[in-house]
């Protein structure tokens, strides 16, 4: 039986970098699709609104683990083999897109109606209204909940171990299977998750206080 030492700790730390990378990739890709979905939810075209609403409803109604299973095992059943990292990235990006779309849609709708009316009086097109007037204000409103969601995303990456991807949690389990020193190992794993998530949580709360203070003025 191995003992838990620096090589094992280093292995866990390297796996933490994969957790961060997976979070970043899923957040960026999911954010791009989420932004499109948010605009579609507010579109004047009924078909686009219904498509976006249906997509969001379906994804939010099933566990993200189910999306992961469908991406990895479901596609392999029809002959499409995805590497674990690609399947995990795609699944989390789908999950992110649905939730960020709703966060950002709510932020856009929080912009006072007078802003829309004022920009329309300047003969701005719909695209110009979004670009110059609405989205800059909505982005500011959406920052606290977006950062808060990012914390949840970091923690949700732990599910990708089920498809064999070695993230932070999976690395801890592998080391534990070799050393049987669960307390030290998962204390380290928990400390790393804390080191990643706590600053983001504080940032989210700080942004929320700033937003509330600016609204009161």
Let me know: does 91 contact 68? Beta carbons within 8 Å: yes
- Using one digit for the tens of pLDDT, what is the confidence trace for 100-124? 999 999 999 998 888 888 888 887 8
Let me know: does 37 contact 101? Beta carbons within 8 Å: yes
> How confident is the model at residue 108, as a pLDDT?
92
| Residue 213 confidence (pLDDT) above 70 | no
> Of the candidates 54, 82, 57, which has an alpha carbon nearest to the alpha carbon of residue 69?
82
| Residue 2 confidence (pLDDT) above 80 | no
Give the domain ranges of the chain.
6-214
Spatial neighbors of 208 by CB under 8 A, at least 6 apart, are 144
> Of the candidates 60, 9, 2, 27, which has an alpha carbon nearest to the alpha carbon of residue 180?
2
This model's pTM is above 0.85: yes
| Residue 54 confidence (pLDDT) above 90 | yes
Phi-psi region at 133: left, alpha or beta (left = phi > 0; alpha = psi -120 to 50): alpha
- Using one digit for the tens of pLDDT, what is the confidence trace for 128-145? 888 888 888 888 889 999
- Using one digit for the tens of pLDDT, what is the confidence trace for 29-48? 999 999 999 999 999 899 99
The pair of three-digit structure tokens given for residue 195, joined into one six-digit string: 């080191």
Spatial neighbors of 40 by CB under 8 A, at least 6 apart, are 48, 49, 51, 52
> How confident is the model at residue 39, as a pLDDT?
93
Tell the CATH topology of 6-214.
Answer: MetI-like fold (1.10.3720)
Burial annotation 75-87 (CB, 10 A radius, 16+ → b, else e)? eeeeeeebebbeb
């Amino acid at each position: 039986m191995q003992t838990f030492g620096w090589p094992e700790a280093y292995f866990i730390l390297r796996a933490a970098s994969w957790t961060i990378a997976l979070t970043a990739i899923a957040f960026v890709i999911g954010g791009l699709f989420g932004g499109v979905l948010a605009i579609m939810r507010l579109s004047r075209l009924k078909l686009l609104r219904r498509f976006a609403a249906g997509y969001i409803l379906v994804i939010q109604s099933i566990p993200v683990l189910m999306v992961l299973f469908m991406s990895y095992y479901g596609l392999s059943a029809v002959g499409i083999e995805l590497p674990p990292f690609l399947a995990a990235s795609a699944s989390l990006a789908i999950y992110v897109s649905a939730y960020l779309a709703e966060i950002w849609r709510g932020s856009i709708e929080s912009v006072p109606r007078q802003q829309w009316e004022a920009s329309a009086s300047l003969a701005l097109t719909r695209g110009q209204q979004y670009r110059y007037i609405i989205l800059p204000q909505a982005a500011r409103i959406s920052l606290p909940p977006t950062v808060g969601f990012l914390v949840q995303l970091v923690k949700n990456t732990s599910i990708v171990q089920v498809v064999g991807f070695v993230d932070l949690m999976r690395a801890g389990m592998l080391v534990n299977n070799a050393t049987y020193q669960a307390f030290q190992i998962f204390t380290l794993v928990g400390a790393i998750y804390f080191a990643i998530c706590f600053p983001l949580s504080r940032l989210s709360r700080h942004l929320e206080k700033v937003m509330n203070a600016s609204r009161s003025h």
